[in-house]
Amino acid sequence: MKAMSVRDRARPAAGDGGPRPALGLQSWKSGGTMRAASGVGAAVVGGRRRHLLPCGENVVGILCLFSAAAALDFKYHHSEELEAYLKRVHAAYPSITHLYSIGRSVEGRDLWVLVLGRFPTHHKIGIPEFKYVANMHGDETVGREILLHLIDFLVTSYRRDPVITRLLNNTRIHIMPTMNPDGFEATKVPDCYYTRGRYNKNGEDLNRNFPDAFETNDVSVQPETQAVMNWIKNETFVLSANLHGGALVASYTFDNGNKVTGSLQGYSRSPDDDVFIHLAKTYSFNHASMYKGIRCDNRQTFPDGITNGYSWYQLEGGMQDYNYIWGQCFEITLELSCCKYPPEDQLENFWNDNKVALIEYIKQVHLGVKGQVTDKNGDPIPNVIVEAKGRPHICPYRTNEQGEYFLLLLPGTYVINATIPGVKSILETVEIPDTTGNFSALKHDFSFSEVSVKSRGALCPKIPLYQKLEQASAAARPTLQLLVLMTVMLVIFK
C-alpha cells in the first residue's frame, strides 16, 4: 500500500454494493478446485512416501495432479522455500517455464522471476510480454503468496483447461513474487498496519524510489529499483500490475501530477485514462468483493473499487508511473487486503477471492493493436514512433529492436501514426474490435516502402518531463494573451 497520504481526499459514495456492472468483455471462470504445482522430489501422501515426477507431456495427467497435491501449501514461504519452489516448478515444467534472477537485493538475495508461456526463454514476435510484481513493500505479503498459487494454477492447467492453454500459448507471463525479499525477512512480527519491513535493508521505500515525471526525485536509487528499471528496459512489457496490501482497491496512473494533467481538479489524467479505468475495473469487477468499493476504515469509499492514484493521494517516485512513461507499459497498483500481513489461515480465501481477477487481467494484454514496422526490404525498423492520434505520450512510444509496437486501446476507430523522425510519417485508420477473447490484439503492420533506413534511437531523459511541460505552458501563456489582445485591438481600430 502507499504510505500515509500527502493528501487524502474524500470520494463520493460507491453505491449499495449491488451487482457488478458488466464489462462487455468475455468473462472466464474456472471450474473445480485449485491444484497445487508439481515438483521433483518426494512427499508423504497418505502415510506413504511418494516420488514427485515431472509433469511433462508423457506423464499421465492424473498422476501429475496426484503428485502435485502436496507441493504447495497455504502458508508463508520464506526466501529459501520460495526459491526452492520456483526451481521445482521449472524442473517439472521446463517446456513452458523459464526461471531467472533480474538482480540482487541489498542483502544479496536473488530477485527471482518465473516466466510462463509457450516460448518462455525469449521474446517471440507478436506475443506480448506481461508481468506481475508483488511484495515491493516487504510487510505486504498477500500478493507474494497468491502469485505462487497463480504459478501453480497456470502450470497445472496448461493443456487441461482450454482458456489457460490459449493464454499461455499467446502470452509471455513474467511473475516476480517478491521485489523486496529483505523487507519480508525483516518482518519478524506480522502486523496488519505497519512494520519496518515495509522498506528495503537501507530503509528506503521502493515505491518512492523511481525517477518521477513531475518533480525531481532526490533519492539514492536502490539495487532492487535499478534491477527493475533494467528489466523494464530489456523487455517489451505491455501490461503489468503491482500487488500491495493495506487496502482493497485498484489504483491507476498518474500517482503524481501537475496542472498539465489536471491535478488542480484533484485528478491526474493520463492520455490513456479510459484504458486505465477499464483495466482497473477488469480486476475489480472480477474480484470477489473489490467492486463494492468499501474502504477498510469505512471513512472513504472507492466507486467500483477503483481510484486514480493522485485522487487517493499524491505519490512521488512510484513504479506504476515509471512503467507508463519510460517503459511503454501500462501498470496498475492492486491493493489486495485490508491487513498487510494477515494470518496464514486466511491465505486460501485471498487466493479464491483473486483467482479469476488475476486471469482476466492478464487477458487485457491483448487489447488494442499491434504490428511490425518494416522498410522497403522488409527489414524491421526499430525506434519508429507509433501512437494513436490524440493520445500523445510525453515519451513517445517506439518500436522495439524487431520493429514491433503494441498499443493498448479500447474497441473503436483510431488513426495510428507511424513516424520515422525527420524522414516520413504514415497515418492509417484502424477499426479495433474486442480482441481479448481471441488472445490477440488486432494486427496492423506499417511498411515504409520508399525507406531503407535504421531509425536512430532517441532515449527519453529520466527528468521531470511534465514539470518542463508545465513551465513551457506557463511561459507561452503571456505570449498567447498578448497575441489575443493585439488581434482585438486590430479589429477595433479597423
Handedness of CA 32, 36, 41, 42 (dihedral sign): negative
DSSP string spanning 208-222? G-S--SSS----PPP
List alpha helices for 287-327, DSSP H: 309-312, 319-326
Strand pairing class (237-244; 330-337): parallel
Cell numbers describing residue 438: 481471441
Q: Which of 331, 335, 360, 387 is catalytic?
A: 335
Active site residue 335: yes
Q: In whole angstroms, what is the distance from residue 273 CA to residue 23 CA? A: 16
CA distances from residue 212 to 32, 219, 317 in whole angstroms, order as listed: 44, 11, 5
Q: What are the residues facing 113 on neighbouring strands?
A: 100
Other Cβ atoms less than 10 A from the Cβ of 28: the count is 16
DSSP percent split of the chain into helix, strand, coil, nearest 5: 35, 20, 45
What is the four-CA torsion angle of 477, 479, 484, 490, rounded to 10 degrees?
Answer: 170
Phi, psi of 398, rounded to the nearest 5 degrees? -125, 160
Closest by CA position to 13, among listed 292, 288, 313, 279? 292
Using CB atoms within 10 A of its CB, is residue 61 exposed (0-12), middle (13-18) or buried (19+)? exposed
Closest by CA position to 115, among listed 186, 168, 77, 72? 168
DSSP string spanning 249-264? EEEES-SS--GGGTGG
Cell numbers describing residue 325: 512513461
23-160-57 Cα angle (round to 5): 140
Query: Within 13 A of 402's CA, how many CA atoms are on the CB side?
Result: 17
268-274-275 Cα angle (round to 5): 110
Cell numbers describing residue 83: 526459491
Active-site annotation, residues: 335
